[in-house]
Structure 1
Amino acid sequence: MKGLRTFCRYAASLRLPSLADLQPLHLANFVHLQKVAGLAPSTLTSKFLVVELLHRFRDEHKGTLPFHPWPESSAVDMAGGTMTREADARKVGLTPLIPVEVAQILFRHAEGILNRAEELLDVRDRGERSAFRDPEITAIRDACFYLIGVLTGMRSSELSSIEVGAGRSETKSGITFHWLASIEHKTKTGAVEYLMPAMGHRLLHIMERWSAPLRKRLAEQIVTLERQSGKRTAEELQWLATARSNRNRLFLGIGRSGIVPVTATAWGRNLKQFARAAGTDWDLAPHQMRRLYAYTFVRHRLGDLLFLKEQFKHSSINMSQLYSANPLQDLALYDDILTELMQYKTKVVAQWLEKDEPLAGGAGRKIMELRAHDFKNRTELIAETSRRVNMRSTGHSWCLAQDEGCGGSGIYAKGSCSTCHNGLIDSRFVPVWQEAYRHHKELLTDAEALGPGAMKRVNEDLAKAAKILTDLGIDPEQGEEDAQSTTG
């Protein structure tokens, strides 16, 4: 029953009325937390079996788990006790992350193709270009594939399953969500929906138009075979069944058996060619788009990037809120995001605990004092700290408040983070504080005309910026000169 106590403590930390209020994402988080604790597969299996029992005896008590915790799987599989699960984990762990500078090049290249798509399709529809063998026309499909992949986190098999009319929008609490329907094949979930930015509707429109000639030819081939008299062979029946299931698909190509959705192997070749056409030598592969999505999601959630601002409408996002917005979403995608989140946080915390890493802010000073202690297992310390510490970026500092903290006032009064016991400033934010120091020096002239009160405030903020830069090992005046020479 030790496993039951662990799970109930976890459920209690969520402050839910009862176990009946748990959502699939909560269970995914529980599994993730147990795994990162470094427990053996046998121990994990015993913990997860208890969760299955709560579902099995759901009829005995209305306050227990109303759904199976991991459909199409088992406690043993979730614990990593099968070879398939371990192989998948190794594959995900080895997926290289597309570098930011390469991702920018690829995105701009795809956007450039997208901006010419309507014009090229007009030419094609006038019969001046081939609908089936023109490289520039085919490039439209590959660009849309890449863009939808990095903007939704869909796998290549799910992208190839997108059909006509797959996009929809809905408004909840004044926020418009855009959804993209597909079929999830890997875990046999079936119909799922992915959150997409408003741009996704434009991509779907172009793909519906792009695929129209292929879908038309496929429909004609189906009709021709259906009208043939006589007994059909097993091969013909198989082709007919497959063709009927593909007739509304968008990402089509021409294979040995005719018009079919592009396979994962073919996408591997297409994306490498797409990357070369963009002018990079990066070895682009389909699953890297999902990894880039998870990485970007995490960076956005922690405030470093606002790449997903249009998509999620908020400067920070709670994944459980996102999941509750649509229970048909792919849970495995959120599991990938959680893994990426832990890896990123672990890297940040590891940097903080480096002996010579300068830190500023109240929390920064505490962590520098913490380094003086001797810990038996530094790796476990970093992992445990990463898991327990709530990290948020204000754009100029890390906020480690485990409650509401200052309520967000530090976002606007950045100087307050320098003395706040929840504030931590590391080398990532040096350029921000160099610019703040330069800006406040410029304000001194204006403040003098406004009176003593303005002068006092500007001087206080200038002193705070100078102290932070000094604590981070930067000479404020030298930093200003470097910044000016760089911009000059």
Structure 2
Amino acid sequence: MKLNPNNTALDLPEGFNARLIPLKENLAKHLKHQNYNKLNKIIISMPKNREKSFFGDDRWNISPYWHKQSNLEKIHIDFTFLKENEKLQLELKFISYGWIFHKSGRKTKPAKIQTVWNRISSFKKVYRFLSMNGHTSIAAFKDKNVWQNFLDFIKDEEYSKSSLVEMFVAFSRVRDLEQWLEKSFELPSFKANQLAKKLSTKEENQTLSIPGRIADIIYGKAIALVEECYPYKKELGLIEALIQKNYREGQKTVDRKIASGIYTFISSPQDKQYAREVNNHQPQKISDIISNNINGLSNLPIGSNGTDWASFSSELMTACFICCDAFSGMRNSELNEMEVNASFNETHEKFEFNFIGSKEHKLHNGKRMSWVCAPISHKAIKIVQEFVRDMGQQLTSRNHDFKNNIWLTQKSRSKLPRLITGWNTRLQNFSKNANAIITEEDLQEAKLSNPNSKGSIIKYVIPGTYWHFTTHQCRRTLAVFASANRLSSPVAIKQQYKHLYLQMAEWYGEGAKELKKKLLVSDPEFQQLLAEVKLESSTNKFYNWFNTDTKLGGTGGKAIMDIRQDAPTIYSDWNTLYKAIKSKRLTLHSSLHSHCRNGYNCDMEGAINPAFCVSCSSDGSIIEEEQAISWQTKHKRLTEYFTDNSNISFQEKLPFILQIQAAEQVMKDFKIHYEPFPELIEVSIQ
């Protein structure tokens, strides 16, 4: 990662062009000499293909400093709320500039722009109070009465504890800037956590897991729409492209009439009359474009204008998003980073699995990762790929940053496509359209499966109202459902969710035990059957590993092969093994790449990359031949990808180089022929 600590206090995105970093200025000097003209012309950022952002602007464009391309809602720092109080606005700008360019925090490691943006957004609460009460500086808090009034104000606003902690920590970060600002604000001293706890009346709540019946309604509607549209995906993409082309033709006609002096009554493209004339001059009716290019899709609108089509396409994109979110457990940030090549397949033990590829920012700063998903997710991605194809081409011709992103919209036909934002609003509209009305039974299940969400249940889970659907609920719901129905272990959830620690995977499954008890009561025979099948399957695995000449890989597998002739007697008797597994003296968890016998002692070496399991230092990994074939497939796919994309940086390659190296080690163990990756770097995966 290339950083420029002399000019910025930020952790810059990978491959950031150092020439786009503005020179750091001495703000205190300009203010001291009242050189406001010079001060206002200080450059904040130099976005690619956009105008520079200056200190004097009411809104700063900070888009170049983001690691993620999908944060359209956060690419600006907005100071317009202080426009009527110039002194407060100037002071908050000084502080914000200091956090971006001078010192982002007390740690030596630079902060991400997300951290700084959140801090500034949180600190706006402070400046709103100051503005409302006629103060001109944060130094007003040295007056005990003003400070107490502020604390009373904060308490009345009923902010959550975490929100208050972030705001109070920002006070400490202001103190860190005082020497640089050449000014002492004499701010009160306090401990952020203690003060936040004292003032917060709002209970911290875990994200809600969706009750089963509600999930069936919402997910069922999304799946049905995707299944219905999938056979027509190319036609839908064509219609979207033709509607946009039709608009452009009307626009060209109107522009010619304006240029030739025929339309003197239109002064600019922003006039309502301009939009009206463009619509009137489109060569085809939208209803004709639709009917001429598709038949048989009952949900398709055949309206006289584009309104119905816009509503339909919005509903379809939301359904596709739900199918990806609900059946992968991906974070919202990871879903938003999906590109047109996001979907791929791999074969494991003669079964084909679907995967979603995207960038992971929480722990890996935008490294490409993969998530197992359901076949319906694969279909949803294929639909969206076709639907946004023309939009992507429009952006590609402009070399736009979002040209490969999959979640695009062009609701405003006169403008370039943009990234879809506001997913929670879309999801809540989808819930309403699906008629997902909460019942008393849903409320009881919500209480059962959400033991850490009492406040959210009181606020949102109200019988007779629509389910308040948000993006993160899908991630929670999948973990709870999979755990409650014994479809996944915490280890597998940890790997799928890209968690660093097993405890976090267990936290996501909170409520599953209570739900499982309910399922056991409702169908104990089926649950007993599932438990018995799992026990017998694990017993058979251990018995075959120790009592046949089956080839095994992984450190645990090699250890088993070494002691087969002199193994403890427990491994030679099936019934004894069965009892040991039933009593949990032996454990076995399985994933696509290996088995693990370490149980809760396994933390995958503290890493998410499955490559680390191949050489597990605690002899826990066991790899069978079918899993070795899966590693062979992964090796082939990754080497082909790097061959076709030679411009990828080392930092982006590193996690996959580890996987390639692990795959070659596995294939070598199983004597599987492979072509060594020519650029393989000698990086230890121990």
Shorter-chain TM range is: 0.3 to 0.5
Greater gyration radius: 2
The structure that is helix-richer by fraction is 1
TM-score normalised by structure 1 residue count: 0.43
